[in-house]
A and B are shown apart, each in its own frame.
Chain A
Amino acid sequence: MENAQLISLSRQIALQRQMDVVANNMANIGTTGFKGSDILFEDYLMPVARDDLYAGSDRTLHFTQDFSTVHDMRAGAIEPTGNPLDVALMGDGFLTVETPDGPRFSRNGALQIDALGTLVDLNGNAVLGQSGPIRFDDSDVDITIGADGTVSSNNGTKGRLAVVEFADPQVLAREGDTYFSGPAGSAAVTTRVMQGSIERSNVSGVTELTTMIRVQRAYQALASLMQRQDELRTSAIQRLGETRA
């Protein structure tokens, strides 16, 4: 009798996780270079060991289990900003950023130059070129970044952005600060760099809201199911407990 309640509970816990994912996507609807997440579920069969040889065999129960979150790697909207140090990536590539914990990958192309003249991201970590960090000196003006990632100024070429691609971007793990970590990627082939634009978050408000409503309704339906179940049990106890003298 408790099975119905336990199964509902497993589904409710999973729905709460899904709600967290929706909330995180929605909170990052304005985050440059953000990629949304989606959560996948699978069923977990119980009991694991069962005896089906008899007429009243054990019945299989399907519990819900969250299985994985996947990255939604669709491109976000490209917004022109007119800022020469903003770059947007057209294609599946990532910029490589040198952090204290090792190289990280990011689609956030809002770049800056630090006091030492190094090309850095918003966290002050160096954005790597194919041969190490890209440095400017005081006399560099008119910085241009070509479609292949070549960074140049009035004094000539300064380096080429290390844009990498991954055969399967799902292997990447999220680190926060719009960083992804993972195995070394291969040099980009198809990705093009667009100067003066940034890539907005790829989260779509409509999709997230409809997902949220679905989650909410499913949750409420389960709550009412659990309540019915409880009423059923109450009446069973009352009926069966009646003493007939």
Chain B
Amino acid sequence: MKALYIASTGMAAQERNVEVISNNIANMRTTGYKRQRVEFQDLLYQAYRRAGSATSDQGTQAPVGIEIGSGVRTAATPRIMSQGPVAPTEKELDLGIRGEGYFAVQLPDGRTGYTRDGSFERDPSGLLVNVDGYQVQPGITIPDGATGIAISTDGIVQAYLGTDSTPTQLGQIQMYRFANKEGLESVGDNNFVETAASGAAQAGVPNTDGMGAVLQGYLESANVNAVTEIADLIAAQRAYEMNARVISGADEMLQATSQLR
């Protein structure tokens, strides 16, 4: 009887589902977090009798066969890369993205991390860095004594230096996008790195050619909706229980057999 093993694949799948939901809920206050969901697929089928097999020597055929499946597997945990709500913070180096694109930061291992988390700071040398101190790419230096830092929707950083009456342009923030952003690999700390599936990063100027706009003084919140997650959690929990019920049902059937004399 395969039912025991089939139901166990169902329980394992729902366990995975709860893991992903709990990660979404845990990160519902994480800046720039994108929720994940689990996609399941049915496993292969065993044909006990194939459709179209002969049922007599008169050439009659079975119109439908017997196919018994062998359970479920987790196919993917795609991220939902939809826009999260943009909340005002009134901090001049907080940047939110409205629309497509990612900021790039230089990770300590040499790779480039892509992120929607724009809570940037200045390091002691004046470089624009993220909260972990990783440098924003391409590097932008804000000299000491710069006041009135203004970042436009197309990423141009301007500030008043010393007693100047006109602002000086300090650089332009670039954004990056991907052919398949769902294919990005999450490396934690709100960063993604490119993979063969995502394709290479394409640099672009914010707010042009479909790239999103930079919003100074705003941060993008997680796109996690608490109500949806709790509803998914309840559904996953019930599905888990029902699969457990199938296991105990199959067990009782086997017990009935083993108690035969």
Contacts and interface: CB of A to CB of B under 8 A. Distances in A.
A and B together in one complex: yes
A24 to B, nearest CB: 4
B249 A213 contact: yes
A162 interface: no
Interface stretch (B25-33, B59-67, B112-120, B164-172): B59-67
Given A68-B64, A123-B75, A205-B242, A27 B45 contact: no
Nearest to B256: A223
Given A20-B2, A112-B182, A212-B245, A171 B51 contact: yes
A27 B185 CA distance: 28
Interface in A18-65: 19-24, 26-32, 34, 37, 39
Interface in B1-39: 1-4, 6-7, 9-10, 13-14, 17, 37-39
Interface residues of B, number: 72
A72 B82 CA distance: 33
Contacts of B260: 223, 226-227, 230
Given A23-B246, A113-B179, A178 B80 contact: no
Given A29-B239, A31-B40, A205-B238, A24 B180 contact: no
A126 to B, nearest CB: 13
A28 B238 contact: no
Contacts of A2: none
B202 A19 contact: no
Contacts of A115: 179-180, 183, 196-199
Interface string B51-89: 100000000001111111111100110101110000000
Determine the interface band of chain A, counting residues with CB < 8 A from chain B.
35 or more
Q: Interface SS of chain A: helix, strand, loop or mixed?
A: mixed
A43 to B, nearest CB: 15
Interface string A215-239: 1100110011011001000000000
A148 interface: no
B249 A31 contact: no
B41 A30 contact: no
Interface stretch (A87-95, A97-105, A133-141, A184-192): A133-141
Contacts, number: 213
B257 interface: yes
A24 B69 contact: yes
Interface in A168-182: 170-171, 173-178
A141 B175 CA distance: 15
Contact of A175 (B44, B50, B68, B177): B44
Contact of B6 (A15, A24, A122, A219): A24
Interface of B: 1-4, 6-7, 9-10, 13-14, 17, 37-45, 47-51, 62-72, 75-76, 78, 80-82, 100, 177, 179-180, 182-183, 196-199, 202, 209-210, 235-236, 238-239, 242-243, 245-246, 249-250, 252-253, 256-257, 259-261
Task: Enumerate the 8 nearest inter-chain pairs by beta-carbon distance, A residue then B residue, closest first.
Answer: A27-B10, A24-B69, A23-B6, A141-B210, A23-B3, A115-B199, A223-B256, A176-B44
16 contacts: A16-B253, A17-B68, A19-B253, A20-B68, A23-B6, A24-B69, A28-B40, A28-B42, A29-B239, A30-B40, A31-B40, A115-B196, A116-B199, A122-B41, A174-B69, A215-B249
